[in-house]
Amino acid sequence: MSEYYFDGKGKAFRPIIVALMARACNIHHNNSRHVQASQRTIALIAEMIHTASLVHDDVIDDASSRRGKHTVNKIWGEKKAVLAGDLILSAASIALARIGNTTVISILTQVIEDLVRGEFLQLGSKENENERFAHYLEKTFKKTASLIANSCKAVSVLGCPDPVVHEIAYQYGKNVGIAFQLIDDVLDFTSCSDQMGKPTSADLKLGLATGPVLFACQQFPEMNAMIMRRFSLPGDVDRARQYVLQGEPFNPVQGLVACFKYIATYLPKLSVEARSLCMT
């Protein structure tokens, strides 16, 4: 069960970003293109934590498909799925402890706390329209971006002693993670299930108002009531989807520009070759 999602069919986005950051930090510090074994372990741990969170999320959401196949909970049941996710997390914890760096351990254990707090944030909603987007971004950071941010910071700690570089790595991972989720939320409305490897409009069916929904709500105020009741009445999901598709398209470019502008303020502090790796 625990090996089920480790079949090479995922995007491996997180470990790739972490490995690139490790190489960038090593180049900046001592012009070495070699990625240390401990840094490669961090990349693996990042994917393990991510996968464990998917297994647990699918139980919470009662999801039936993931990455184009049935979920663990649908094949083996919820109890075994929870235990499988726990086993993946325990294996990641053992690998982390074996690195033997207390600073790195502290950094990555923050990810676990953020994942849980992010899940609690997702269960809630803000009545005030002006607070909703901030709530959405905070949830996005804790559930998605924290893992990338703190994993990037961890490999920077292992590769370079400079705290300035550690902050650059963290901010880079944070903003790439938020940008990644903004795009993913748009694709939930604009792509088909085959492309996504999971059902589309899944967030609406779970009662979640993501970026495209919050943007559409500005054009169609009648969506406020649907958001507050978490699209629970018959027809709410279909109506909300139509509002999103009928209105002005949600354009994540503004959010992406903000993310990458923030990144751009930090990257000039790295060497030219290290900077080019981060912008690949």
pLDDT digits (tens, 9 = 90+) for 104-143: 999 999 999 999 999 999 888 777 777 888 898 899 999 9
Averaged pLDDT for residues 15-23: 95
Q: What would the pLDDT profile of 51-65 be if each residue is shown by its tens digit? A: 999 999 999 988 888
Helix and strand totals (H; E) in the chain: 15, 2
Predicted TM-score of the model (pTM): 0.86
Q: For position 97, what pLDDT does the model report?
A: 96
Per-residue burial over 139-167, b = 16 or more CB atoms within 10 Å of its CB, e = otherwise: bbbbbbbbbbbbbbbbbbbbbbeeeebbe
Alpha-carbon distance of 188 to 33, in angstroms, equals: 38
**Model pLDDT, residue 109:** 95
Confidence of residue 189 (pLDDT cuts 50, 70, 90): confident
Is residue 279 over pLDDT 70?
A: no
Residue extents of the structural domains in the chain: 13-269
Do residues 108 and 45 lie in contact, with contact meaning Cβ atoms separated by under 8 Å? yes
Residue 102's pLDDT is 97
Fold of 13-269: Farnesyl Diphosphate Synthase (1.10.600)
CB 88 within 8 A of CB 2: yes
* Average pLDDT of every residue of the chain: 86
Write the single-letter amino acid at 247.
Answer: G
Kindly indicate the confidence band of residue 171, based on its pLDDT and cuts at 50, 70 and 90: very high
* pLDDT value, residue 179: 86
Q: CA quadruple 10, 104, 93, 178: dihedral positive or negative?
A: negative
Gap between the Cα atoms of 89 and 87, Å rounded: 5
Question: What's the pLDDT tens digit per position in 64-104?
Answer: 888 778 999 999 999 999 999 999 999 999 999 999 999 99
Band (pLDDT 50/70/90 cuts) for residue 218 is confident
Q: Which two tokens stand for residue 76?
A: 């083996």
Q: Is the pLDDT of residue 21 over 90?
A: yes
